[in-house]
């Protein structure tokens, strides 16, 4: 009788362990790190401006990436200075690249059946080039008349200019994605750094009836200040809605991916980046929260939150920092973060960046396919 009772208890506890076992438990069935998306952020500078040398490096690099299971390439086409790296009639091209860098890269990627996301640093314009130079009123201005070299998401004309660059790429090249980076207000010199130029205040007043010049208490205890914070945040979301509508006019299904700050709650208030709502509403097709840390628990926490915001409407592929201003990873750390991402049902991962994704990391990816 006692033996039978022990057997029943043993069965009960074994069942309980299986029921509550964390998603991170090992086992042969979970040893594979395969996910739908394995991507990397890439910069033209990685290949250099000399066409022959660049093409040779493209071929060897993409061959290595294919062996490592990388299937998604996020290639910079507009940097934070405002220079572009494709055959543009609208933007100002980087003079060192006097050939169609992006078209050449895209052709090599297509040979290997890799998906390419043209990557735009959306609002920064540090060199104040071309149309931005002609329209300095597009730039963000603080209450103290401080200016930053970034166009103001609150201004329809500034949004239209940045969207025109994206449409140009989509119409010139056979791409299925547009990738948004710096899809936010600046975080320097302060957070938040919304614009107090006359046109923005006029638009805000028209929408809300609030005269910001009369708002003395500029803190979150003041309902009027909270309206101001929300209104500016909504301007970034308006940009994405306008971009989606513009992409529909091409007659093709072009998706949107977005590199976003790691914590959605803070990003919404401090930089006007409401990416949790973008995920819940399906406004973007892929979210790439940049979770650049070596802290495994923090990576798990932020990835879990991000996957929850996607909820089947938006792909969630966290950014793993290989070598960044926030962390320096190891191949073992990268693999562990990939395991965490898969266990939490992320749709993939993206590595930052090609400059740091050196042979030891590629070897680890080959072994973990």
Convert the pLDDT of each residue in 99-123 to its tens digit.
Answer: 999 999 999 999 999 999 999 999 9
Residue 312's pLDDT is 83
Q: Is the pLDDT of residue 367 over 80?
A: yes
Q: What pLDDT, in 10s, does the model give residues 234-273?
A: 999 999 999 999 999 999 999 999 999 999 999 999 999 9
Contacts of 330 (CB under 8 A, 6+ apart): 294
CA distances from 28 to 11, 22, 206, 303 (A): 23, 16, 61, 24
Confidence of residue 1 (pLDDT cuts 50, 70, 90): very low
Q: What pLDDT, in 10s, does the model give residues 118-144?
A: 999 999 999 999 999 999 999 999 999
Q: Is the pLDDT of residue 6 over 70?
A: no
Q: What pLDDT, in 10s, does the model give residues 270-316?
A: 999 999 999 999 999 999 999 999 999 999 999 999 999 998 899 99
- Residue 272 is classified by DSSP as S
> How confident is the model over 52-70, as a mean pLDDT?
98
Contacts of 277 (CB under 8 A, 6+ apart): 237, 268, 283
Rounded to the nearest 10°, the torsion over CA 338, 341, 345, 346 is -100
Rounded to the nearest 10°, the torsion over CA 152, 199, 134, 136 is -60
Is residue 255 within 8 A of residue 286, CB to CB? The reply is yes
The pair of structure tokens assigned to 267 is 């990003």
CA distance 103 to 83: 16
Full set of structural domains in the chain with CATH = 33-367 (3.20.20.80)
- Per the prediction, the chain carries an average pLDDT of 93
Confidence of residue 331 (pLDDT cuts 50, 70, 90): very high
CA distance 120 to 161: 13
Residue 18's pLDDT is 37
Residue 311's pLDDT is 86
> How confident is the model over 43-51, as a mean pLDDT?
98
Is residue 74 within 8 A of residue 179, CB to CB? The reply is yes
Q: What pLDDT, in 10s, does the model give residues 173-227?
A: 999 999 999 999 999 999 999 999 999 999 999 999 999 999 999 999 999 999 9
| HSE (side-chain half, CA atoms, 13 Å) at 214 | 6
CA distance 246 to 166: 9
> How confident is the model over 152-178, as a mean pLDDT?
98
User: pTM for the whole thing?
Assistant: 0.91
Residue 368's pLDDT is 78
CA distance 368 to 35: 11
What share of residues in the chain are helix, strand, coil (percent, to 5)?
Answer: 45, 15, 35
Contacts of 39 (CB under 8 A, 6+ apart): 70, 71, 72, 73, 74, 117, 317, 348, 349, 350, 351
Task: Specify which residues 287 forms β-bridges with.
Answer: 258, 316
- CA-nearest of 211, 234, 243, 241 to 224 is 211
Residue 30's pLDDT is 52
């Amino acid at each position: 009788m006692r033996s039978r009772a022990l057997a029943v208890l043993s069965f009960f506890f074994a069942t309980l362990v299986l029921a509550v076992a964390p998603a991170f438990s090992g086992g042969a069935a979970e040893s594979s790190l395969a996910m739908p998306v394995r991507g990397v952020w890439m910069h033209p500078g990685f290949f250099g401006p000399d066409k022959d040398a660049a093409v040779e490096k493209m071929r060897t690099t993409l061959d290595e990436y294919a062996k490592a299971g990388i299937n998604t390439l996020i290639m910079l086409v507009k940097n934070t200075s405002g220079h572009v790296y494709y055959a543009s009639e609208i933007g100002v091209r980087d003079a060192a690249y006097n050939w169609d860098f992006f078209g050449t890269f895209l052709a090599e990627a297509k040979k290997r059946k890799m998906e390419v996301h043209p990557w735009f640093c959306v609002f920064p314009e540090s060199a104040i080039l071309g149309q931005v130079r002609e329209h300095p009123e597009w730039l963000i201005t603080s209450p103290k008349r401080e200016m930053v070299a970034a166009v103001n998401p609150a201004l329809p004309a500034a949004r239209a200019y940045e969207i025109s660059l994206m449409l140009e790429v989509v119409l010139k090249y056979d791409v299925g994605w547009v990738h948004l980076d710096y899809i936010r207000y600046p975080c320097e010199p302060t957070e938040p750094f919304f614009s107090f130029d006359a046109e923005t205040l006029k638009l805000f007043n028209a929408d809300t009836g609030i005269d910001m010049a009369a708002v003395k208490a500029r803190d979150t205890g003041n309902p009027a200040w909270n309206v101001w914070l929300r209104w500016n945040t909504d301007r970034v979301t308006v940009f994405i809605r306008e971009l989606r509508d513009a992409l529909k006019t091409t007659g093709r299904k072009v998706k949107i991916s977005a590199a976003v700050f790691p914590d959605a709650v803070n990003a919404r208030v401090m930089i006007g980046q409401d990416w949790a709502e973008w995920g819940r509403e399906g406004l973007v097709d892929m979210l790439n929260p940049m979770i650049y840390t070596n802290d495994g628990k923090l990576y798990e926490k932020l990835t879990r939150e991000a996957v929850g915001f996607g909820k089947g409407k938006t792909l969630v592929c966290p950014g793993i920092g290989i070598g960044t201003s926030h962390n320096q990873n190891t191949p073992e750390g990268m693999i562990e973060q990939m395991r965490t991402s898969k266990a939490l049902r992320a749709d993939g991962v993206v590595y930052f960046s090609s400059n740091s994704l050196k042979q030891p990391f590629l070897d680890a990816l080959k072994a973990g396919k």
